[in-house]
Structures are given as structure tokens and as C-alpha cells.
Amino acid sequence: MILTDRIREKHDGALGNRLDIKVLLRLLSCSMTIEKRLRRRFIEQFDTTLPRFDVLAALERHHEGVTMGELSRSLLVSNGNVTALVRQLESDGHVSSQPAPEDRRRYIVALTPQGRAHFEELAAAHHGWIGAMFDRVPDAQMAELYDLLAILKRSLGSEGEESE
């Protein structure tokens, strides 16, 4: 059995000569498999969720903190989703939120020292999981795949629609 046989694809790859659709479905099946594994491992090993990890990762990149609006835009999710996640993380002591000095209607969200330590633990596990999932792809092919996906990304960008 070859490795791709272990992960099902929609239509089981039976789309005749539509290589564009086959590539799309293969990308989706790989992406969904990776995401499912990450979600399951975060729950099982850390009793947390992938969206909570994403919020911590975004805040880790902004040491000075960010507004809730900036955070939702960087995560590509609604303000309501971010607010719920931030409130959960705040109740766990991982983030703090304070009114912005220039506009008290806006809130600045930042990692707490406890949140930074928690994120570092999660990130180390995340890096290990990703490394293991990509371990059987030789470095040269990984670089080639990265370059090929850049070409696809440019093609998508030239179509003229906004990024989602």
C-alpha cells in the first residue's frame, strides 16, 4: 500500500483527466488530515483547542499587544469569535485585556507571563507534530512543494478576488 492510500480523498481520485480538481482535492485532504490531527492532539495532550493556540500564537508575535479588531483580522475570524476565545484565555490567566489609552471603547489584548510560558509549551509540541507529519518528505521536495504552492498562491491572487 502506498502512503496516499491511507488517507481517503473525495471521489477517491476518480475524476478522469481533471488534474486541477484532483490537485484541489489532494490539497484539501492533506490540509484536513493535518488539521484534524492537530485538533485531536491539542485536546488529548493539553486540554486546549487549535483556535485557542492560534490566538496565543498571534499574540506571541505582538509583544506589545493588539486590539481585538486587529487580532480578529490577523486570524481571519469574526470579532465575536475572537472575543469568546480571549475571554476563555483571560479566565485561564493566559491573556490580559485592557482599554486602549486613546480610545477606551477598544481593548488591547496581550499574553501574560503565564500565557507566554503556556504558548511556548504548546508551540514546542506543535512544531514536533508538524515535523513528524512532514518527516517522510525529503527536504528538496519540501522546498519544491513550497515553491509550487507559491505559484498557486500567485495564480489565486491574480484572479482578482479578495483574500478570505
The more confident residue out of 34 and 3 is 34
State how far the alpha carbon of 2 is from the alpha carbons of 5, 6, 14, 71, 138, in Å.
6, 8, 17, 41, 16
| Total-model pTM | 0.82
* Interacting residues of 7 by C-beta distance below 8 A, sequence separation 6+: 29, 30, 33
CA distance 95 to 83: 12
Is residue 81 scored above 50 in pLDDT? yes
Residue 5 has what pLDDT? 54
Burial 25-62, CB ≥16 within 10 A → b, else e: beeebeeeeeeeebeeebeeeeebeebbbbbbebbbeb
Q: What is the pLDDT of residues 21-35, one digit of tens each?
A: 999 999 999 999 999
Q: Is the pLDDT of residue 164 over 60?
A: no
Rounded CA separation 162/112 (Å): 34
Any idea how long the chain is?
164
* Euclidean distance between CA atoms 121 and 41, whole angstroms: 13
Q: Tell me how far apart the alpha carbons of residues 35 and 41 are, in angstroms, rounded to a whole number.
A: 10
Q: In what order do the strands lie in the sheet with 66-67?
A: 66-67, 103-111, 95-100
Mean pLDDT of 120-146: 98
pLDDT band for 100, please (50, 70, 90 cuts): confident
Taking only the tens place, the pLDDT of each residue in 122-132 is 999 999 999 99
Average pLDDT, the chain: 89
